[in-house]
Amino acid sequence: EGYITLDPGYKNTGATTSAITFLDGEKGILRYRGYPIEQLAEQSNFIEVSYLLIYGSLPTAQELNDFSERISRHTLVNEDMRKILDGFPATAHPMGILSALVSSLTAFYPESLKSNQSQDEMDLSVIRLMAKMPTIAAWSYKNSIGHPVIYPKNKLDYASNFLNMMFSYPTEDYEVDPVVVDALNKLLILHADHEQNCSTSTVRLVGSAHASLYSSVSAGISALWGPLHGGANQAVIEMLEAIKADGGDSKKFIEKAKDKNDPFRLMGFGHRVYKNFDPRAKIIKKSADDVLAALGVKDPILDIAKELEEAALNDSYFVERKLYPNVDFYSGIIYRAIGIPTNMFTVMFALGRLPGWIAQWKEMRENKEPIGRPRQIYVGETERDYVAVEKR
Ligand code: CMC
């Protein structure tokens, strides 16, 4: 039996071997299947990166075409899903709806519950999930504004199709802008995988019990929702808005974040693994400038964000603790510029992270990993005798 080592938050414990994503937090390096994130963000698109993560190599032109076409054919969701959607109040957070509807896919595709799926069956589950997530995500938004849902249009590419379902009305078509499509592809690529983060570890842990891909990813969505994880992108914008409303003094908020008696943290700052610049944040910061310029958007919040970053990077508290802006610090500013409402930011993160979750779930199953079952060190009462209620 031997010792049980205690490592709360798994700060130094590896749970698996993995061949998907390489991350060096000291040097600020991130690679998917060996390819640097900078090259993928600049030169690839989200569907190609999804293929790379899920199947391990860049697709040939034919493979890419087949993958995209198969995804396009499966974008419709079962009409009965709309009844589930209708049951949610308009106030429901879209992340809750996303997690519930992804979980309910098991009901529509019960074959996904088989623990010994063939490669073809597993592939079909993968394609269905990639195809239906954007539809479900856009519908969760339409529900929140009380508008009728827009059906997928399969002649559009993945990103354009999502934007169309978000922003078209039965009465008016949305003009898909190539600047917006490029920005969205870049954001999705930057979020596509990040090795054993909280939501991905959740997907692997749930999947290790041989739960279906849909249930496992639904659990991952719930984990991602938390403000210390994917929920941070929404929290960043809310924080920047609060700074603006308070008169725009970023130094005051820096002091607040340093005060140990105040629970406030600088959202979008710090990372468990990056103790140097988050390479994704570098790309996103530049992209925020480019996208806002291309769209002719002037957002005062971008200036506040830059001031805040500058002030934090020159403050010994943040320097000593190696706290740098993370991927979420600037992503919300781009989402806002392309018209995505704040309560959808974390859903955008989920859409981006999906191929990573799928790749990690598939790797875990194909490697026949054992069920995940952490141990503990018991610190409760020693043995004691039961006392009848009238004697307590
Ligand atoms: N503002 C102020 N202080 C901070 C912050 C922050 N954002 N982040 C960490 N610290 C301090 C923390 O108080 C601690 O100080 P001390 O040593 O004096 O007690 C020290 O830095 C180390 O922090 P930690 O909480 O032990 O580090 P962690 O690895 O457990 O937490 C984190 C990592 C990302 C949860 C944390 O930095 C944080 O809460 N950041 C804000 C939320 C955020 O932006 N999350 C998005 C993460 S990136 C997207 C994703 O992949 O999820």
Q: Which residues contact 164 (CB under 8 A, 6 or more apart)?
A: 150, 153, 156, 173, 174, 176
Cα–Cα distance for residue pair 30/20, rounded to 1 Å: 11
Residues 41-49: contacts with CB under 8 Å, at least 24 apart: 41/186, 41/189, 41/190, 41/283, 44/189, 45/157, 45/159, 45/185, 45/189, 46/158, 46/159, 46/184, 46/185, 46/188, 46/189, 46/192, 46/352, 47/71, 47/157, 47/158, 49/188, 49/189, 49/192, 49/355
Q: Residue 348 has what pLDDT?
A: 97
Mean pLDDT, range 83-94, rounded to an integer: 94
Q: Is residue 207 within 6 Å of ligand 1 at its C-beta? A: no
Mean pLDDT, range 182-190, rounded to an integer: 95
Q: Closest Cα to atom 12, ligand 1: which residue?
A: 321
> What mean pLDDT, rounded, does the chain reach?
95
Helix (H, G, I), strand (E, B) or coil at 63: helix
Q: Which residues contact 62 (CB under 8 A, 6 or more apart)?
A: none
Q: H-helix or E-strand containing 36?
A: strand 35-36
Q: Residue 238 has what pLDDT?
A: 92
Residue among 198, 273, 277, 196 at smallest CA distance from 25: 273
Active site residues: 271, 328
Query: Which of 71-75, 198-202, 309-313, 349-353 bottoms out in mean pLDDT, i.e. has the lowest?
Result: 309-313
For residues 56-91, one letter each, b for 16 or more C-beta atoms within 10 angstroms of the residue's C-beta and e for the rest, the string is: eeebeeeeeeebbebbbebbebeeebeeebeebeee
Which residues on adjacent β-strands are paired with residue 169? 172
What is the distance in A from the centroid of ligand 1 to the CA of 273? 10
Confidence of residue 1 (pLDDT cuts 50, 70, 90): low
Q: Atom of ligand 1 at shortest distance to CA of 9?
A: 30
Q: Is residue 270 within 6 Å of ligand 1 at its C-beta? A: yes
Residue among 111, 110, 93, 347 at smallest CA distance from 220: 347
Q: Closest Cα to atom 17, ligand 1: which residue?
A: 321
- Interface confidence, given as ipTM, is 0.95
Domains of the chain with CATH codes: 235-337 (1.10.230.10)
Residue of 274, 326, 345, 349 best suited for mutating to test ligand 1, as the one with most atoms within 8 Å of CB: 326
Given a contact cutoff of 8 angstroms between Cβ atoms, the answer to whether 97 and 69 are in contact is no
Does the pLDDT value for residue 43 go beyond 70? yes
- pLDDT tens for 226-283 read 988 898 888 999 999 999 999 999 999 999 999 999 999 999 999 989 988 899 999 9
What is the distance in A from the centroid of ligand 1 to the CA of 160? 35
Confidence of residue 2 (pLDDT cuts 50, 70, 90): confident
What is the distance in A from the centroid of ligand 1 to the CA of 144? 31
Q: Is residue 328 within 6 Å of ligand 1 at its C-beta? A: yes
Q: H-helix or E-strand containing 21?
A: strand 21-24
pLDDT above 90 as % of the chain: 88
Q: Closest Cα to atom 14, ligand 1: which residue?
A: 321
- pTM beyond 0.90: yes
Given a contact cutoff of 8 angstroms between Cβ atoms, the answer to whether 159 and 46 are in contact is yes
Q: Residue 163 has what pLDDT?
A: 97
Q: Is residue 336 within 6 Å of ligand 1 at its C-beta? A: no
Cα–Cα distance for residue pair 367/363, rounded to 1 Å: 6
Centre a 10 Å sphere on the Cβ of residue 308 and count the other Cβ atoms it contains.
Answer: 24
